Structure 1
C-alpha cells in the first residue's frame, strides 16, 4: 500500500471483521460471549502490533542512523520495502546520507591534495634558505631567483585554494591560455631540482637521476599553466622516485594527434623503473594507491601518500583530456593528452 491512511483503514476493517466473526461464532455455538470477546480483542491487538511494528521499523532505523551520523559515521543506511510515506522518507534519508558522505570524503581528499601540493614549494624554499644560512651556497642572484620562483609558486597555490573550494559544485575555473611549451616545461623541471626534493617532500636528493626534455620545435599549447604544472611535476616526481640508480627520466612533448584542435598537446613521461603491471594500470590513478608494485621500487621511493597520480588525473580531467599508462618496453610511460580547448569552449 502506498499510503499510511490506507494501511490504518485496512487495520480497522480487519479488526471489525475479526470481532464480527467471533460474535457470529458465539451466537451459533455454546461458547460464552465474554470468552469470544476476549479472543477477538487479543487477535485485534496482535494484528495491530504486527502492522505497527512493520510501519515504524524504518523510523527506528532512521533514528539510529541519525545518531551515528551525529558521531561522524555517514555509512549507515535505512532498509525498507514499504512504498508509503515512511518509505519515501527513508529513500530521501538515504540520499541525504550519501550526499553527506560524499561531501565529507571530498573535504578530506581536498585537504590532503592541498597539503600535498603546498609541501613542494615550502620544502624547496626551506632548502635554498638553509643552504644560504649554512654557507653552502652564496646569496647570488641565481640562487635567490630559485627561491623567488618557489615563493611565486607558493603564492599561486594559495590563491587557488578559493578556486578549489568550488569543487563542491563540480565547477573549477581554468585560466586557459596559449604558451610556449619548451620554456614552460624547462621551468617545471628546474623547479623540481632546486633543492633536489620531490613534490612528495622527500628529504633525500636523487642526484643520480638525470632529467631529459624533448620538445618539438616551436611547439605551443592551450591549457591552464598552473594546472599543467601540477600534472608534469607529479608525474616527473613519481618517475624519479621509482627510477633505478643512475636512471634517466625523459619528458616528451609534441602536438596532438592528426585532426586535433589547434593548441592540443601530448605529453609523455618515461622512466627506467620496474614499470606498472597491466592489472594495476587503471587503479594506479586512484587516491591513496601506495604500497603496490608501482611504489615499491627505486631508491627514492618513500611509499608516499598515493596522491601524486590522482592529482595529475584530476587536473587532466578538468581540461577534458586523458591520462593513461602507455605500453613501453622499459620502465613506465605515462601519456597525457590535452584537447587544446576546454570543455564548453568553441
Structure 2
C-alpha cells in the first residue's frame, strides 16, 4: 500500500532528514522530557566547551542556541511525522483513494493513533470495495432478467409472439428471478443494519423440510426435479427461528436447483449429532471445488476453478449463501460444504436447544 507524506512539510524541512530515534519510547510525555533534556544538555555542553576555549559568551551562547534549535527541530520532526502523514492521507482519502497508509514505527500515543488510522483506512477500503462489488453485481443481475422480460413483452405487444402459456411462463420466470433478487437485497440490508433478533420456537424438522421442498417445487418445476426428505428420527425437533431457518433452507434449495441436472434429485436430510441437529441439502450437480468451499459463503463470491466454475453465477447473485451463513451464525451454528464423492452437499449444524450467538436478542412467538 502506498504511504503518504505531506509535501508542504517535506519542502519546508527538506534539509532535515526524517529520523525517529525516540520511537522505542512508549510515552509522548517521556519523549517531550527527553527532548528538553537533550536540547538543554547540548546547549550546556557547547557553552562549557566555548568557555573552556575562551570563545566568550557573545559567540558561545548564539552557537548553543542554534545547535539546540536544530536538534529540537530534528527530533520534533520525527515525533510529528505520523501526524503530518495522517493529514496528507486524510486529504487523499477525501478524494476517494482509501489505499493510502501512514508509516507507524513509534510506540507512543502518536504511533497508536497511526495504527488506528491505518485500521480505519483498511476498513474504509474494504467497505468501498464491497459497495463497488454490490453495484456491479446488482447491475449485472438486474440487467439480465429485465432485458429478457422487456424483449418478451415487446414481442407480445408487437404480435411477433403469441400470448401462449409457454410465452407467459417465460415472462413469469424472469419476474420471479427479479423477485428473488429483491428479496436477497432486502436480506442483505438487514445484514448490514445488524438486524439480529431471533423469534425462537420449537418445531418438527420433518414437517418443516417437507414444507420448504413443496414450496420450491411449485416455483421451480421446469427441471422436473425430485425432492427426497429423510429425517431421522421422524419426530426430530429443533428450537430455532423458523422464518430465519426457512430463509436458510430456501436459499440452499435454490442453489441446489440452479446447479442440478434436468430430472435430478435434491435431497434434504436431517439427523441429530450429540446436542445438535444437522440439516443437509444435496444436489447431483457438478459439485464445488475444494479451494472454493470456504469462499462460496462470502458476499458476491464466484469460484474460478473446479467442477462448478462459477459459484454464485448461473442466475445466482453471490448473496444467497452469504445470507445463509449470517442466519446460521445468529443461531450459534455453522454451515459448510460437506465432502461428498459427487454433487454438492451444504451442511448446516444448529444447536438442538437454541444457543444464539452473543449479542443476539431473542423473543418467543407469544411476545409478538
Alignment TM-score, normalising by the size of structure 1: 0.68
Query: Could you report, residue by residue, the CA deviation over 1:1-57 in whole angstroms, capped at 9, with x for unpaired residues?
Result: 455454344333332322222222222224455554454234213311211211111
* Per-residue deviation, 1:91: 3.8
**Structure 2: distance between partners of 1:162 and 1:312:** 14
Does residue 109 of structure 2 align to residue 81 of structure 1?
no
User: 1:124–1:150: 8 Å Cα contact kept in structure 2?
Assistant: no
Does residue 256 of structure 2 align to residue 235 of structure 1?
yes
**Structure 1: distance between partners of 2:307 and 2:230:** 29
* Per-residue deviation, 1:149: 12
* Per-residue deviation, 1:168: 3.3
Report the count of equivalent residues: 317
1:76-225 residue pairs with structure 2 within 5 A? 76-105=100-129, 107-108=131-132, 134-135=161-162, 137-138=164-165, 147=172, 154=179, 158=182, 164-173=188-197, 178=203, 180-193=208-221, 211-216=225-230, 223-224=242-243, 225=246
**Structure 2: distance between partners of 1:234 and 1:42:** 75
Partner of 2:337, secondary structure, is strand
**Equivalent position of 1:62 in the other structure:** 86
**Equivalent position of 2:73 in the other structure:** 49
Does residue 272 of structure 2 align to residue 254 of structure 1?
no
Does residue 303 of structure 2 align to residue 290 of structure 1?
yes
* Per-residue deviation, 1:293: 1.6
Q: CA RMSD in A?
A: 4.5
Partner of 2:266, secondary structure, is strand
**Structure 2: distance between partners of 1:228 and 1:127:** 33
**Equivalent position of 2:338 in the other structure:** 326
Structure 2 vs 1, CA of residues 3 and 314 (structure 1 numbering), >3 Å: closer, same or farther? closer
Structure 2 vs 1, CA of residues 315 and 305 (structure 1 numbering), >3 Å: closer, same or farther? same
Unaligned runs of 5+ in 1: 195-208
Unaligned runs of 5+ in 2: 1-24
